[in-house]
Structure 1
Amino acid sequence: MPALTTAEELVSSKLDYLVVGGGTAGLVVAARLSEDPSVTVGVLEAGEYHKDEPKVNIPGMMGSGLMDLKLDWALFSEPQKHLNNRAMFHPRGKGLGGSSLLNFLVLLRPGKAELDSWEDLGNPGWNWENMLKYMKKSESLGPNNLSEKDTVRYAAIPDALNHGSEGPIHHSFPALVTPVHTAILDSLETLGLPRNSDAYSGRPTGAFLGMNAVDPSTMTRSYAGSGYYAPNISRPNLLVLTGAHAAKVNLESAGDLQRAVSVDFIKDGKTFTVAAQKEIILSTGSFQTPQLLELSGVGDKDILSSHGIKPIIDLPGVGENLQDHGFVPVIVEADNSLDTIEVYGSPEGLARQQALYEEKKGMLSCFPASFFAFVPASVIGTRADVQDWEAKATLKASASEVFQNTKPEIKKGIQKGYEALRKFVDDPATPTSQIMLFNGHFPIPGMVVDPAKRYLTLMNVYSHAYARGTVHIKSTSPTDPPSINPNYFSNPADLEILVKTLRFSLNLVKTVPFNDLVVKNIVPSGNETDEELKEIAKAMMSTLFHPVATCSMSPKDNGGVVDSKLLVYGTTNLRVVDCSVIPLLLSANPQTLAFAIGEKGADIIKGAI
């Protein structure tokens, strides 16, 4: 579909604001700023508008867009020393809507203590109460069509006071809840993890029915492209250019500070420059925002100089403090009567699901999972384990190579993050790990799947990364991907927590009534020692695609890149509004926070707060 505007039209327009990156948060900012007809807002997006793409719109096809280069940047990390030197695949959404067009539709929230920690880290106004306001503003909670009995059995009783009803993004319970859901919840209660009927109210620990980013009236994905862009496409003061790759932010001196005046971008092989009168907002994500800052002369002067880039603002925190969720699967063969994604493997099964989808039912109508469990440390570990994980929340516990070249102010900020993390470990209201069901055999390279059988995957996730990584430029070319180094498992606590969570999931598999639906374990077998589970984790761990914190919102002397108003230090009008500003990775999948950060960022820019 052709872009709303052309490069020539955008460059010749008198823009008040320029948003670089039409992704999850970027489109929120652009839509909200353009509500004022007296201002003109431009958006640069390197991808396209995928309005009619089934891989985007049909919920049950989520995941099929991974590695599709028109939808996915398909980045890879550097080989990871503590993961048997494997390079990790990192998908990133490419197009209007960003990763909200590509992700697995999961809508969860972190706990109150986790969001309050952002304020404790030096960011006034960034806390549970304030962020709840913005999570609600982005949300439209669909009707709960479950029976009263099922709302209790499924753990799905949201408190309307904590949810929005008029936001652009639809939140809905899945149209399909399989028998596996209640079987797992019953088994978890036997193992000491109770149901949590409203995990969205600041205390997420427990097991529950999760919400999807699905519009229940159409059974299509609800994302930034459909919610924030499509309804506003005809606004004359909202100019969106797709296929435009940002290359550099141009800065000029404004006394002791720098002012962002324009952005160079590449479109169809030609380089253009577009100016903005008021502000430039970077929303290109946790990997590409630090890359763009460094290309613009903002970052660690030593890194910039090594690439021949003149340092304009020496800001060592750019690209540091990377944190990400990792998971290891427990895969079982399940009762053949269950509908799992393997039914797509036969023409008859696929045709049946397609027919059901026409009626807004079946597996294609939702993410192939319904069960989520947020597990506190006391459920998966002993008191000694908890104390050990608290002790490992420190720079000294990490591998020697991780922080050997890290600047002192960055170390100071990371240690403050560890101090917050230490409090989480001993808090029964704060998760230490997450278990999520994937209704089928999660794709694992090299593992053969028998399409005639049925499988279930328990995805075991550590909630808070102990490892800290980096993202930096490899070259001065804006189209070269950055160097991504998450340093997975460089702090042993991440691996230890995963092993305890794997052990818990293996016990779950053996517990009735869930065990009644299990034919046999595929991997792990269930007979492994903890040391053997560690080796399995090193071989099988994958990212859950939640990178944050590479442009951390923190005081500058703690390695921060932006202040609590999202202004890049050393500038008067350059902001970052995306998940790279999150200072500390939280337990929840961050999509709800991405929308909320966009909403709050827009209010900050408008002077509403």
Structure 2
Amino acid sequence: MAERFLRSVHDAVSREYDYIIVGGGTAGLVVATRLSEDPTVSVLVLEAGRANLNDDSITMPGTFGKNFFQPDYEWGFMTVPQKHSSDTAFYWPRGKGLGGSSCINFYVFAQPPASDIDAIEKLGNPGWNWETYMRYSRKSERFTPPSAQEAAAERLHFNPAHHGTDGPISSCYAPLRAGWDYLYQDTLGNLGLPPTKDSVLGDGNGAWMATCSVNPDTKRRSTSVEYLHQASARENLHVVVSSPVTRVLFKDEKSAAGDVVASGVEFVHEGKTYTARANREVILSSGTLKSPQILEFSGIGNPEVLAEIGVKPKFDLPGVGENVQEHIFTNLAFELKNPEKYNTQEPMADEAVLKEQLGLYNSGNKSLFLLSFLGLGSGSVDRLSPQGAALISSHVARIRATSADTWKPGVAEQYALQVDKLNAGTASTAIVSMPIYTSRPNVPEPGKKYISIVAMLNHPWSRGTVHAVTPDPLAPPALDPHYYQDDFDMQTMIELTKFVRRLGKTAPLGDIIAREHNPGPEVQTDEELIAWIKQYTNSIAHTSGTCSMLPRDKGGVVDPRLKVYGTHNLRVVDLSILPLHIGAPTQVYVYGMAEQASDIIKGVI
């Protein structure tokens, strides 16, 4: 790939740009590519991490988690100790470098239910609905369907109307399968979640085979860097890496409407501080964890938070850094009988096998590097557990009996929609099979193979915060998701984990399982299960909400045009704007959201 867009700090500070985009991650590169389609405008992207272009540890499929805890690729964030999780601090991986988290994710490419997207509009955001979203989501995707023979043999049901054909991001069904996928589907069906031919529409209940963001021709993983391929020859797009932005700068005079006017940003490169100037807009695309921190150091946020870090307020906006919602999961592992029948990644822990599989991959043959997740299921807790209906009834009664003043602004409206979802039987959980061992605390035994099954909360009720807590803008913010503060989250996780245990004992999947490896036979009572959950809960790195698109008096940070309240020309475009979480991995949503945001910025809609 030509790298003409990569520029020096001198380029960034020696001229004025029309648009400055803070962050070259999943959303930022979409916006940069679309804005620079107009040759009359100039666009600067400032990325905190390295370029990391053409890096095999990113572009090669099957490198799940390889770059976790690697400072050249991700931030290494940790939460504060969680009060309702035995004071455990949890690791929150987030991508750092061009492509952001799309370079370190597990590239599941699945759409959320339509009702989850329509909920965004119901919270006060005209135009942010399913119909509009799908138009933009298709624009981002280049789907390669399976052959009719393969689709029939593997039960790969899909609706072509829900896929794009000429977008930058490649998607397909994984080139190599684990071998248990149809057994997994049938077992979910036997437990009340029958296969669905359309996982996109409706309430999300059912089992299906998911696509992944992989290019089936080159076998190379696809990330948001693929957008840069379209813009690689453009002179009007400049990208400067290793340059974290510390704050947005504003003019002394306000706009005619009385809003503060962004004039540029301050950033750091190799220990020195620089200023880049914008004559149209500044767009924050630094992600759910960094965008609110940059706003706070820019003087926009809760005055009490700003006082703690020594920042003079520009605009009182208490919603900044609030409304945090995260997909969380437990991960159960089961040892497989007859391991030679199945494809998993455990054998590549052996150097000789790793070398062999790498050779197969490089020569264009089937390799374990081509494995991806395929089997997914989702359901409401009353479909997964005999106690589910009673749990829902009790929780809904408690929510309805609680005064809205008990919660922070805007939460009551979100909870009302979540209650509607519960009563409608909308899937609040997800169950994902994985051909890779990521479970804890027991580790895989040499020579054996495992199926890992993730049990995930789609619509958490707990709400957390992300705030700057030190005067150093380069220090990490305090991440406090308030895991399990709402007990319904814990009760749901308990029942969901029990469901996965039943899944592992139910035919036909149970027929190929030798034993449960995690949590293991030593974890039996509810008390023991709760202790395991509190210690070994994981983040799926889908955090949303810190710059929610909501009315200002409901805790909002940006309006439906994505402008930060109180500002004339400052927007946020990343997952932080999502006000109510969706029941799906967030990669696909971010691409569609950023495409829609690009047309808003360009004035097309």
Q: TM-score over 0.5 for the alignment? A: yes
Corresponding residue for 2:206? 206
Q: How many angstroms does 1:447 deviate by?
A: 2.9
Corresponding residue SS for 1:528: coil
SS at match of 1:598: helix
Provide the secondary structure at the position in 1 that maps to 2:288: helix
The more displaced of 479-488 and 431-440 is 431-440
- 1:416 is matched with 413
Aligned to 2:393: 387
Name stretches of at least 5 consecutive residues in structure 2 with no aligned partner. none
1:400 corresponds to: none
**Any idea what SS the aligned residue of 1:457 has?**
strand
Distance change in 2, residues 1:41/1:278 (3 Å): same
Structure 1 residue identity aligned to 2:582: L
Alpha-carbon distance in 1 for matches of 2:532, 2:274: 49
Q: Deviations over 1:107-136 (max 9, x none)?
A: 111111111111110011111111111111
Aligned AA (1:340): T
> Following the alignment from structure 1 to structure 2, what is the Cα–Cα distance between the partners of residues 345 and 312?
53
| Aligned counterpart in structure 1 of residue 382 of structure 2, from 378, 384, 398 | 378
The 1-side partners of 2:571 and 2:247 are apart by 14
1:409–1:285 Cα change, 3 Å: farther
Match of 2:487 in 1: 492
What one-letter code is carried by the residue in structure 2 that aligns with 1:457? S
Task: State the match for 1:113 in structure 2.
Answer: 115
SS at match of 1:386: helix
State the partner residue of 2:572.
576
Q: Does 1:350 align with 2:354?
A: yes
Deviation at residue 377 of structure 1 after TM alignment: 2.8
Which sits farther off after the overlay, 474-483 or 290-299? 474-483
What are structure 1's unaligned runs of at least 5 residues?
Answer: 398-402
Identify if the C-alpha distance between structure 1 residues 391 and 71 changes in structure 2 by more than 3 Å, giving closer, same or farther. farther
Q: Is the 8 A contact 1:56 1:62 kept in 2?
A: no
Q: Cα offset for 1:353?
A: 2.1
Superposition pairs for residues 265-344 of structure 1, below 5 Å? 265-335=267-337, 336-337=339-340, 338-344=342-348
Alpha-carbon distance in 2 for matches of 1:597, 1:491: 29
Deviation of 1:203 after TM superposition, in Å, equals 4.7
SS across alignment from 2:499: helix
- SS, match of residue 268 in structure 2: strand
Residue matched to 2:224? 224
Q: Is the 1:409–1:557 Cα contact (8 Å) retained in structure 2? A: no
CA distance in 2, matches of 1:240, 1:353: 35
Change (3 A) 1:180 1:210: same
Whether contact under 8 Å (1:128, 1:202) holds in the other structure is no
Question: 2:132, 2:60 → 1: CA distance?
Answer: 33
Quick one: structure 1 residues 236 and 395, their matched pair in 2 at CA, closer, same or farther if it must change by over 3 Å? farther
Which residue among 518, 530, 534 is the counterpart of 2:530?
534
Q: Which one of 539, 546, 551 corresponds to residue 543 of structure 1? A: 539
Contact 1:155 1:207 in 2 (8 A): no
Q: Show CA shifts across 1:15-44 (max 9, x none).
A: 111101011000000000000001011100
Change (3 A) 1:391 1:533: farther
Contact 2:344/2:449, CA 8 A, preserved across alignment: yes
Contact between 1:3 and 1:242, CA under 8 Å: does it hold in 2?
no
Give 1:467 shift: 0.7
Deviation at 1:188, TM superposition (A): 1.2
Structure 1 residue ranges, 4+ long, deviating more than 6 angstroms after superposition: none
C-alpha distance in 2, partners of 1:30/1:224?
11
The structural deviation recorded for 1:249 is 0.3
Alpha-carbon distance in structure 2 between the residues aligned to 1:299 and 1:489: 26
1:180 aligns with 2:180: yes
The Cα of 1:231 is off from its aligned counterpart by 3.0
1:480 equivalent in alignment to 2:482? no
| Residue of structure 2 in register with 1:362 after alignment | 367
For 1:383, give the aligned amino acid: A
Residue 559 (structure 1) aligns with? 555
Q: What displacement does 1:394 show?
A: 7.1
1:585 aligns with 2:568: no
Q: Is the 8 A contact 1:392 1:493 kept in 2?
A: no
Instruction: Please tell me the root mean square deviation across aligned C-alpha atoms, in Å.
Output: 1.9
User: What is the CA–CA distance in structure 2 between the aligned matches of 1:390 and 1:103, rounded to whole Å?
Assistant: 34
Q: Deviations over 1:459-483 (max 9, x none)?
A: 1001111110000002121210001
Q: Name the stretch that deviates more: 239-248 or 371-380.
A: 371-380
Secondary structure of 1:510's aligned partner: coil
Q: Match of 1:34, as an amino acid?
A: S
Q: Normalising to structure 2: TM-score of the pair?
A: 0.95
Q: Secondary structure at the match of 1:287?
A: coil
CA-CA distance at 1:392 after TM superposition: 5.2
How far off is 1:168 after superposition?
A: 0.5
Distance 1:360 1:44, change over 3 A: farther
User: Counterpart amino acid of 2:531?
Assistant: E
Q: Indicate conservation of the 8 Å contact 1:155/1:195, yes or no.
A: no
